Amino acid sequence: TESDIHVIPKPESLKLIEGNFQFNKNTVFYVADKAQSAAAQILIDRFKEAQGWELKTVDTQPKSNYIQFKTSEDIEDEGYKLMVENDVITIQSNDFNGFLYGIQTLRQLLPPAIESQTKIADISWVIPNVEIADKPRFEWRGLMLDVSRHFFQKEYIKKTIDRLAFHKMNTFHFHLIDDQGWRIEIKKYPKLTEVGAWRVDQEDKPWDGRYTPKLDEKATYGGFYTQDDIKEIVAYAESRGVTVVPEIEMPAHVTSAIASYPDLSCLEKPVPVPSGGLWPITDIYCAGKDSTFEFLEDVLVEVMALFPSKYIHVGGDEATKTNWEKCPHCKKRMRDEQLKSVEELQSYFIKRMERFISSKGRVLIGWDEILEGGLAPGAAVMSWRGVKGGLEASAEGHDVVMTPGTHCYFDHYQGPMDTEPLAWGGHSPVSKVYQFDPIVDGMSEEQAKHVLGGQANLWAEHITTESHSEYMIFPRLAAMSEAVWSPKSSRDWVDFSSRMENIFKRYQHQGINYAKSAYTITSETEVDEATNTITVSLKNEF
Ligand code: NAG
């Protein structure tokens, strides 16, 4: 029956029909253009790795045993229709993402062994005849990775992007700058990565137990992405239907930049890149000097040349503005611009950046602090301190992305603190993530239209390894993907958890260190070496 089909995120509609389709070595993909062959490639690669078959693409219609793509104008953006009919599979869509998601669904209909990274014994690749019509509920389905507090290799970033696409997520928010590390090469300001990407190695100490390094201490811990790395990541993401949204923090969380170029701050005092926690954040960009804005515009010019994303994230969070109150340049700016408070000075700062970003045809997005002192006219808001910022901005007619800490912060614990690996605090188990709804109580229909979608954020103060990072992301990402993709009416925790077993097996094959024990799920995993078959027994005690 339909309930035996375990696709995550749950498709809008799914009908099971009698009969089935059998993949074999002679199955071909009938493609008409580059987008279609790029989508087909996802599954071609899977069969190649898991089974050793070199499935072909052809450009004339075969008689049978093929998968075809059809462009259909009346399917909404990113939506698709998937029909499996005995010896023909048809994927209809009007864009690349739709074809890609049709393929991802097809992939999930196949046995979990399709995810195998090593060749397995010949098994039967049969899928039932189905008719699936599917489309996303929201256009922004994101994950943020913080690569500043700990640096993550380019390969891991690409892997994560691939996994986003697997979950039909389409936005990768790249948190490239923070106090503890500047992670992107900027040709005009080489010190940002010569100095700002490195800190004194105190990794043996807890995050908040680290001392402030001396300026002449050797900073050896860190890393950064060259512009070529970034191009590679962006191109890879494009092939997976994922937009990379860069975040260039301002005016706070930028000690790494000030350590590189002290003149950017009010005090102009040399500071080290902090090795651990830093609070409050008082050393911020000076809002008085025009040179600050020239620097930021130069940086953004290079950033925008690398990232085609419509949205450019400028951070904006957690600035303690005490230096601005004392700084002669900032005081002059406030007089000249008739600003009554440092909040209004922050608003001036962001508005000025917004004018620059929109003059380049892009849209500024920032954390909800950018509302303070007045929101820039064309700006979008990412609501993280609960949902208040989202309610307020959408009421003023601004677009919002909902990412409240309560449900969307993957640096929170997902189970009991005494058994889980160290996390920031908080408690956001998969069941809570599953309850996340970007449309909040109290939003009018008009406000709801301004909700672009939702996003999970993984801050990395305590996350030093890829396997720990995976542990925090999975399987919560599966819950998040359903919250931002599937119709609200199909949200059903029991049904979702019954579909998790299928996804766990796939994670296992993909080599993901997903959290197994955090949700009173007891999951036993057995691997049969000979056939590389994975058995996961789940006891659901939700
Ligand atoms: C906030 C900070 C972030 C930090 C995280 C920890 C935002 C927008 N800002 O304090 O730098 O890593 O929470 O959960 O989240």
Q: The tokens of 479 are what?
A: 């819950």
Condensed to tens digits (0 to 9), the pLDDT of residues 289-336 reads: 999 999 999 999 999 999 999 999 999 999 999 999 999 999 999 999
Active site residue 462: no
Cα–ligand 1 centroid distance for 151 (angstroms)? 16
Asked whether 386 lines ligand 1 (CB < 6 A), one says no
pLDDT band at 122 (very low <50, low <70, confident <90, very high): confident
For ligand 1, atom 13: residue with the closest CA: 459
How far apart CA 450 and CA 118 sit, in angstroms, is: 45
Q: How many CA atoms lie within 13 A of 463 on its CB side?
A: 26
Asked whether 424 lines ligand 1 (CB < 6 A), one says yes
Q: The tokens of 75 are what?
A: 């399917």
Asked whether 317 lines ligand 1 (CB < 6 A), one says yes
Entry pTM: 0.95
**What is the rounded average pLDDT of the residues 376-398?**
97
Residue from 115, 178, 411, 470 carrying the catalytic annotation: 178
Any residues with CB less than 8 A from the CB of 284 and at least 6 apart, and which?
251, 252, 254, 258, 265, 266, 319, 320, 321, 323, 324
Condensed to tens digits (0 to 9), the pLDDT of residues 80-112 reads: 999 999 999 999 999 999 999 999 999 999 999
pLDDT reading at 532 higher than 80 = no
For 238, phi then psi, to 5°, come to -60, -40
Alpha carbon of 67 to those of 51, 101, 459: distances in Å?
18, 14, 41
DSSP state of 187: T
Percentage of the chain lying above the pLDDT 90 cut: 89
Asked whether 409 lines ligand 1 (CB < 6 A), one says yes
Cα–ligand 1 centroid distance for 459 (angstroms)? 7
Whether residue 273 contacts residue 192, with contact meaning beta carbons closer than 8 Å, is answered with no
Structure confidence at residue 1 (pLDDT): 85
For ligand 1, atom 3: residue with the closest CA: 459
pLDDT band at 420 (very low <50, low <70, confident <90, very high): confident
Question: Which stretches within 62-209 are classed as H helix?
Answer: 96-109, 154-166, 191-194
pLDDT band at 16 (very low <50, low <70, confident <90, very high): very high
**What is the rounded average pLDDT of the residues 195-208?**
96
Asked whether 459 lines ligand 1 (CB < 6 A), one says yes
pLDDT band at 3 (very low <50, low <70, confident <90, very high): confident
Active site residue 329: no
In our burial notation (b when 16+ CB lie closer than 10 A, e otherwise), range 213-230 reads: beeeeebebbebbeeebb
Q: Which of 426, 438, 428 is nearest to 483 (CA)?
A: 438
Structure confidence at residue 268 (pLDDT): 97
Write down the ipTM of this complex: 0.99
Cα–ligand 1 centroid distance for 489 (angstroms)? 32
How far apart CA 165 and CA 481 sit, in angstroms, is: 10
pLDDT band at 2 (very low <50, low <70, confident <90, very high): confident
If phi > 0 it is left, if psi is from -120 to 50 it is alpha, else beta; for residue 174 that is beta
How far apart CA 345 and CA 333 sit, in angstroms, is: 8
Asked whether 367 lines ligand 1 (CB < 6 A), one says yes
Residue from 150, 173, 253, 450 carrying the catalytic annotation: 253
pLDDT reading at 69 higher than 70 = yes
**What is the rounded average pLDDT of the residues 111-132?**
94
pLDDT mean across residues, the chain = 94
How far apart CA 280 and CA 448 sit, in angstroms, is: 34
Percentage of the chain lying above the pLDDT 70 cut: 95
Condensed to tens digits (0 to 9), the pLDDT of residues 450-486 reads: 999 999 999 999 999 999 999 999 999 999 999 999 9
273: three-class secondary structure by DSSP: coil
Q: The tokens of 413 are what?
A: 């614990």
Condensed to tens digits (0 to 9), the pLDDT of residues 243-295 reads: 999 999 999 999 999 999 999 999 999 999 999 999 999 999 999 999 999 99
Between 500 and 185, the higher pLDDT residue: 185
Query: Which atom of ligand 1 is closest in space to residue 459's alpha carbon?
Result: 12
